[in-house]
Chains A and B, each alone.
Chain A
Amino acid sequence: MTDMDDEEPLLIAQGLTKWYGRQLGCRDVSLDLYEGEVMAVVGESGSGKSTLLQLLSAQLEATAGRVLYRMRDGVTRDLSILGEAERRFLARTDWGYVHQEPTLGLRMMVSAGANVGERLMAVGWRHYGKIRGAATNWLERVELDPARIDDTPQTYSGGMRQRLQIARNLVTHPRLVLMDEPTGGLDVSVQARLLDLLRGLVADLKLSAVIVTHDLAVARLLSDRIMVMKGGEVIETGLTDQVLDDPCKPYTQLLVASILPP
């Protein structure tokens, strides 16, 4: 029975479509994401990749199509049928969402320790020492100085804030993490170190992830599979290395060709 469950996708999107009035967000997007798999969604701005991420995390309501998620009890459920309470609970425990802008995913006026510990407290942890211990642990794992546990993210640099956001999301051992340009807006050297960290964490924790990025190098480094989008439509999908080394569609070819050699 367990083998069968492992072969069921963790996240399924079927024909996802979103219209903003007469403006198309995305049209007819389908994907299957398995446990431990990382999918990159790439495209230029306006491609619909951010809309897709918000639809997958039920932050937006789809005009058509649906999103299915396999819960911890093994049952796959349609997210739109879940009650708000259940969705919010999932968002706090089983899922992570990393915003491009870390201030959106953090409580800026509250200490780093509280930021990381909040999800634990929300699920009933009531021992200050243990909460603080778990927070310290996670700060170390994302390569932040644990001595700064009582500082607020106001005093952190952009790269540090992003690491903190990641720790805050991972503390409840989510199975699915959605990331929106996690390294966007950061210094090139900072980006490289952060990508390294992400790659390590994803492998260690066997996370499933959907990573939205305009940067093909990020996709190549982190993802197993890739989906290329343009103007709200899916252009091409497949294994990352295959698509990037041997793109089929003309748009993908153009995209790949436009990367300047390092």
Chain B
Amino acid sequence: MYVAAKGGERAIENAHRLLAYERRGDPSVPELSLAQIGEQLTLAVDRVMNEGSLYDRELAALAIKQARGDLIEAIFLVRAFRATLPRFGASEPVDTAAVSVRRRISATFKDLPGGQLLGPTFDYTHRLLEPESALALTGEPARAEANQNTMPRVTDLLAGEDLVEPSPPADSEARIGDLTQDPLSLPAARDVRLQNLARGDEGFLLALGYSTQRGYGRNHPFAGEIRLGEAELEFAAEEVGFAVPLGRITVTECQMINQFRGSASEPPRFTRGYGLGFGQCERKAMAMALVDRALRARELGEEIRGPAQDEEFVLSHSDNVQATGFVEHLKLPHYVDFQAELGLVRRLRAEFEEAGTAGSVREAAE
């Protein structure tokens, strides 16, 4: 006698308990601390802050631990938490020229005011897997003191000669778009596009940026400047009438210098792509700058040839929390819709067979 399966509730509770157990792993192995994750898996924390759209290293570390290292799951946790936080307003725009620089490079000039400061980077390491012991610290590293007064932005230097297009000035009256408050509406203005890219999946943007380099909407990029450092965050408090410093955040900024353009009425200038993120996230900032520039194709009158230039495609699929939700939702029961399809297919097959036998009966009769 068939009895409808019950106990979905108990199954879920048991699954949660098993998950917690697996998360801890072998109890004889020391438990990971949030401090360890924050200090030693810094770049994972940076990514979770970026795509979670929340600057809080401790929370990001907690999310990574709770998510067992699955970064997209951790990003989801941070986003969901963010949605519950009260909002006071928007900070003043971060002045990246005033960042206290720890790393600053430019591919467009051999040397420039302030110099090339390599900072902490994997760039010139040899990707040889080391025995763990070789990862141990061996004394204090050399540190160069960066004097940001002598480190002007490359784009400002080029702009001084009017060689690069100016950043379009913001309309101070216009409300800045906010994807966490309003649904995306297309066509999108650049503020919303950049926001979408900033919280977009690093892998997705990386692939799209890569595709532009391989010809799917090529825009001849040069890395004008990449800088990493700490920036002061300020908030204009109405009650006191001036900007109040909230603290310092680490940011990575990438300015791409791209294909020049001019017209009969405008002298030729280089165009730009922009990327900015929390923490040290060069790959993300660079990919973001490549895609930002690609998405300006419409505005710059360029032929749209590759997916990276397709605004609707890029902006609708960049959010990995949405993407994973929908992809993984296929695990949910769909047996009712499947039942409906089964019914149709069975009926069509029956008709197909009937037509077949009718045909052969006719042939036999002839």
Contact = CB atoms under 8 A, between A and B. Distances in A.
A22 B265 CA distance: 9
A124 interface: no
* A interface, size bucket: under 10
A83 interface: no
A22 B263 CA distance: 9
A151 to B, nearest CB: 19
B264 interface: yes
Nearest to A23: B264
A22 B264 CA distance: 7
Contacts of B264: 21-22
B207 to A, nearest CB: 27
A21 B301 CA distance: 11
Contacts of B265: 22
Contacts of A21: 263-264
B261 to A, nearest CB: 12
Interface string A75-104: 000000000000000000000000000000
Interface in B63-87: none
A204 to B, nearest CB: 39
Nearest to B301: A21
Interface in B36-56: none
Contacts of A22: 263-265
Interface string B256-278: 00000001110000000000000
Interface string A1-43: 0000000000000000000011000000000000000000000
Nearest to B265: A22
Interface string B223-264: 000000000000000000000000000000000000000011
A206 B254 CA distance: 64
A21 B265 CA distance: 10
A91 to B, nearest CB: 23
Nearest to B264: A22
Interface string A174-193: 00000000000000000000
Nearest to A22: B264
Interface in B263-310: 263-265
A63 to B, nearest CB: 16
B267 to A, nearest CB: 15
B265 to A, nearest CB: 8
A102 B265 CA distance: 38
A55 to B, nearest CB: 20
B301 to A, nearest CB: 9
A137 to B, nearest CB: 27
B334 to A, nearest CB: 26
A21 B263 CA distance: 9
Contacts of B263: 21-22
B281 to A, nearest CB: 39
A24 to B, nearest CB: 13
A159 B263 CA distance: 41
A22 B262 CA distance: 13
A21 B264 CA distance: 9
Interface string A211-242: 00000000000000000000000000000000
A21 B326 CA distance: 45
List of 5 A-B pairs having minimum Cβ-Cβ separation, nearest first: A22-B264, A21-B263, A21-B264, A22-B263, A22-B265
Interface of B: 263-265
Interface of A: 21-22
5 contacts: A21-B263, A21-B264, A22-B263, A22-B264, A22-B265
